[in-house]
Amino acid sequence: MPQPARPRCLGVIGGMGPAATAEFFARFVRAVPARAEADHPRVLIDCDPGIPDRTRALTGAGPSPGPRLAAAAQGLMRAGAQVLAMPCNTAHHWFPEIEQAAGVPVLHMIRLAARAARERWGARTRVGVLATKGTLAAGLYETALRDQDMEPVPPTDREVDELLMPAIYGAQGVKTRGPSPEARAQVTAAGRALAGRGAGALLLGCTELSLLVDPGSPCAGLPVLDALEVLVQAAVARVSDAHADEYAPRGHAGGR
């Protein structure tokens, strides 16, 4: 009697930051429909906090992380990964370099999240985007949401500088202190500002923000879609599909 196919091996380009990578893995383990320990897929995680800061690179204040991200993709592939995921939104600016280097399918969190937003809320919904200055400067979610016929509502520069970036990078921010009441309050205030400008829903477009809004809970009175959770569900589906092409045509892994 033939044995059931083993799940495919997942590689994770992580460390951006370590807490967000740990959160992705914890959610992934909980989401796998396993009946026993041996039912879980093999997971390889390259948690490299030394990858140059993505926002600094996009604002011209630091080196490009592209070569280091591409090297991580190649290393995971050589170690046996058959599908790659990257729980960092801003790093998707360098997705073409990563995809070119990988040689295996790479899940595109931002496109997947925009598609999930369209499926959940419908076309022409005004979606408030909570993200880093780098992600916003690169227009990653604005482009992806408009491709899905949705209207992005970005934060103002002041909201980014005074609320979102401190919640992530500040003295009381996630990268410094972990989830803190101060950081949670700043994210809620940013969400409230977006709601005041007509947003009907919010998209968490930074994996550190996933640590500040409870899964499934509203923020500032609005429904929330967490891009990290979308990536988790996509990764579980991809590694569990024994009939998926191991080397899918490039550009298809991210749900374009």
Structure tokens at 10: 């997942």
Residue 85: closest CA among 110, 53, 109: 109
> Does 219 participate in catalysis according to the annotation?
no
Place of tokens 């005074």: 162
List residues bridging with 128 in a β-sheet: 153, 202
Three-class SS state of 128: strand
CA distances from 129 to 93, 190, 229 (A): 16, 10, 16
How far is residue 15's CA from residue 21's CA, in Å, rounded to a whole number?
A: 6
The verdict on whether 206 is a catalytic residue reads yes
Active-site choice (9, 47, 88, 219): 88
Q: Where are the alpha helices (DSSP H) in the chain?
A: 18-31, 54-58, 66-79, 95-102, 109-121, 133-138, 140-147, 157-159, 165-169, 174-177, 181-196, 227-240
Residues 6+ apart with CB under 8 A from 254: 95, 106, 107, 108, 109, 111, 112
Per-residue tokens: 252? 């298809």
User: Would you name the residues annotated as active-site residues?
Assistant: 88, 206
